[in-house]
Amino acid sequence: MNVAVRDLKIKTPIEFLRGVGPARAAILRSDLNIHTFEDLLGHYPYRYFDRSEILSINQINEQSEWIQLIGTITNIGEEGDGPKRRLLATLYDQTGRIELLWFQGRAHVKKTLQDGVKYLVFGKVSFFNGRANIAHPEIELYNQDINLLGRQPVYSSTQKLISRGITNRSFSKLTQALFQSIKPEDIPEFLPERVRQNFNLLPRAAALAGIHFPQSEEELNNAIHRLKWEELFASQLMIALVRQQHAAQVGWKFERVGAFFNDFYNNHLPFQLTNAQQRVVREIRKDTLSGRQMNRLLQGDVGSGKTIVALMCALLAIDNGFQACIMAPTEILARQHYDSVRSLLQEIDIQVGLLTGTVKGKERKAALSGIADGSIALVIGTHAMIEDSVQYKNLGLAVIDEQHRFGVSQRAKLWKKNTIPPHILVMTATPIPRTLAMTLYGDLEVSVIDELPPGRKEILTLHRLENQRARVMQFLKSEIEKGRQVYIVYPLIEESEKLDYESLLAGYEQVRIWFPEHQYKVAMVHGRQAAEERQRNMDRFIKGEANILVATTVIEVGVNVPNASVMVVESAERFGLSQLHQLRGRVGRGAEQSYCILLTGEKIGEDSRQRMKIMCESSNGFYIAEQDLHLRGGGDLYGTRQSGALKFKLADILKDSAIMEETRIAAQQVAANDPQLQQPEHQCLNSLLDNSGQQSYWSKIS
């Protein structure tokens, strides 16, 4: 049988599998995204039950969990009203009886139950008023020839499927039926034979059989290892191919260090560059001299001086006759960069333009015209800068600040802004653990600013409980009396935005009570305000006209007020570690001692307590990012769970870092030897990339 015919078998619509049919197929498609035989193979179990043992009812005790019984059903009937209505039945054997109950799918179950008939029953036992019961058990008619499954896979399902009679046991039977209807050669192999042998990996068909119906612990472990390896290899291969393309991509040459760079460096630097900053500038200089397009990630903790490095690189581009742009994720941050850069360049003859969503009318027209004719050499703004209407005369460098706020496709749009793509410098103040960086930013070279400018004092971080609020407020008053300013930040989480908005307003009123208007000036900033009002309130704080800024996490990145010495985070238990670290970085920017006060409820969970402890013990962003990865898992960080780069069914970038390292090396070898995947042994890898979704994700920037 040729490959095309084999592929057809695996692509068969799911309704043609024995035991499915059109009605069940419709639910499998809508609820579990299972359209074909291949999709069912890829719907892996998440745990396994031992179904080889039958208990007697009198063996059940408080320690029992998942149990299997054989008994006769009787007393079938319904009780309760509304949502509490349930179907009840009694199961008895020679040793005792137990209650079975169903809240969902009652009508379907009631139709199938037969009074006085013997059943095989499996489920999780619970106790109510000292009596055992099983809710929503799996049941089937018992006969002497019934096949006890032994190790039974457990699949994620939905209530709709269960109500249609597809219990976990019947789901297992569907998967068994699928394996009986296809041969191992019907399952395409995604890895070249040489790669499988080098890394001692099971064939794909054997791995799929082993994960669904393992005969031993060893077979299960080998199957999972092979499938994890495949997932991570797909990700690393696509990254390696993109890197290979980058390496071949011609880039603009910045051959001279000219008057603008030298004048700024020698006469206008606000402080001496740290060794780390100097090293990063040299790395970027080397990239822009190479004749290849630069694609570099600059990681630096909050306050480490990334903006100065970005500005110096922009001056390098301008010295060589090119334009540069700096793209920020929010209006506030874009305006702050704009004000800061203009202040630094006030004695240098360079026109700086601002382009954000709120720049309208004549101002916008003038900005677009200046960008198009080249009179604006440095453009600062939000994603408005990459809209199709924005035409650059000669863009040579694009700096993207806080990359995790932008999608891959937005980075890709910058490539099209010149005949030869501009050099790309991506910056983040969120330190990224190596395992995550290898997956999210694997196509980029990495630079790190790992030291703070001299004279910065470490921020003192304190955890305080709600019952200590009065002391905290008194402390804020003492700081304000010294001439300092204070942030008070409230959580604003999408899932409960209305509620959080109300608690922000209530918090604002409470702050006004603690800090009466005739003595203190309080400003408020949040995402629901019109952009102009938000900017006006922000400006009051920046100019020192307000002592206190009550805000949501809209001020998380980039806001630079050296006179602000205290950051109070309300309901700090609702924030992740990386976000708390970002918020803390808004203070400590002046010469005075600064403080971050984490206010929480008196009763918080162990995870929250651990986060507060880590924050109080360390100000090292890389350490905090590692701890965040441990506590939350890679998929939850930086909003990447939906990212195509992290769509793994089995692999975990933290726990499987050793596998990732193997796949990275193997992928780089393949990409170096066959960057177009044209060799016969690599044809299967195109199918692997298509199947994994990596092709569409990474192709946006290739």
The pLDDT assigned to 395 comes to 95
Least confident of 207-211, 378-382, 646-650: 646-650
CA distances from 357 to 113, 158, 335, 364 (A): 63, 43, 11, 9
**Burial environment of residue 86 by CB neighbours within 10 A (0 to 12, 13 to 18, 19 or more):** middle
For 548-587, write each residue's pLDDT tens digit: 999 887 665 556 788 999 999 999 998 888 889 888 988 8
pTM of the model: 0.71
pLDDT beyond 90 at 366: yes
The pLDDT assigned to 407 comes to 60
Query: Comparing C-alpha atoms, which of 672, 670, 662, 661 is closest to residue 689?
Result: 670
Instruction: Please tell me the class of the 53-148 domain.
Output: mainly beta
Q: What is the rounded radius of gyration, in angstroms, for the C-alpha atoms of the chain?
A: 31
Residue 281 CA to residue 283 CA, distance in Å, equals: 5
The pLDDT assigned to 151 comes to 76
pLDDT beyond 80 at 237: yes
Q: Is 569 left (phi over 0), alpha (psi -120 to 50) or beta?
A: beta
**Burial environment of residue 233 by CB neighbours within 10 A (0 to 12, 13 to 18, 19 or more):** buried
Residue 264 CA to residue 372 CA, distance in Å, equals: 26
For 402-443, write each residue's pLDDT tens digit: 755 566 667 778 878 888 999 999 898 777 777 777 777 777
The pLDDT assigned to 50 comes to 77
In degrees rounded to 5, what are phi and psi of residue 489?
-110, 135
pLDDT beyond 70 at 691: yes
Q: Cβ distance 557 to 609 under 8 Å?
A: no
Residue 462 CA to residue 443 CA, distance in Å, equals: 39
For residue 653, the 8-state DSSP code is: T
Q: Cβ distance 353 to 332 under 8 Å?
A: no
- pLDDT grade for 1, boundaries at 50, 70 and 90: very low
Q: Cβ distance 413 to 700 under 8 Å?
A: no
Query: Comparing C-alpha atoms, which of 575, 599, 579, 568 is closest to residue 485?
Result: 568
Q: Specify the higher pLDDT residue, 5 or 590.
A: 590
Query: Comparing C-alpha atoms, which of 640, 599, 267, 278 is closest to residue 441?
Result: 640
The pLDDT assigned to 612 comes to 95
* Complete DSSP assignment for 627-640: HHHHHH-GGGGGG-
Estimate to the nearest angstrom the gap between the alpha carbon of 337 and the chain centroid: 26
pLDDT beyond 80 at 641: no
CB atoms within 10 A of CB 29: 16
78 token code pair: 């319904």
Work out the average pLDDT over 227-233. 95
Residue 275 CA to residue 277 CA, distance in Å, equals: 6
Do the two domains 259-290+305-428 and 460-618 of this chain adopt the same fold? yes
Report percent pLDDT > 70 for the chain.
90
The pLDDT assigned to 149 comes to 60
Residue 90 CA to residue 486 CA, distance in Å, equals: 65
Residue 201 CA to residue 228 CA, distance in Å, equals: 11
Report percent pLDDT > 90 for the chain.
46
Domain residue limits, the chain: 53-148, 259-290+305-428, 460-618
Q: Cβ distance 637 to 644 under 8 Å?
A: no
Q: Cβ distance 229 to 662 under 8 Å?
A: yes
Q: End-to-end CA distance of the chain, in Å?
A: 36
In degrees rounded to 5, what are phi and psi of residue 373?
-90, -5
- pLDDT grade for 659, boundaries at 50, 70 and 90: very high
Q: Cβ distance 177 to 17 under 8 Å?
A: yes
For 473-505, write each residue's pLDDT tens digit: 999 999 999 999 999 998 864 444 555 567 778
Least confident of 61-70, 154-163, 288-297, 356-365: 154-163
Q: Specify the higher pLDDT residue, 8 or 102.
A: 102
CA angle 74, 79, 83 (to 5 degrees): 130
Fold that domain 460-618 belongs to in CATH: Rossmann fold (3.40.50)
Beta strands in 166-322 (DSSP E): 295-300
For residue 382, the 8-state DSSP code is: S
567 token code pair: 């950051």
pLDDT beyond 60 at 5: no
- Tokens 């409470």 belong to residue: 510
The pLDDT assigned to 694 comes to 62
Average pLDDT, the chain: 86
One of 3.30.70.870, 2.40.10.120, 3.40.50.300, 3.40.190.10 is the CATH number of 259-290+305-428, namely 3.40.50.300
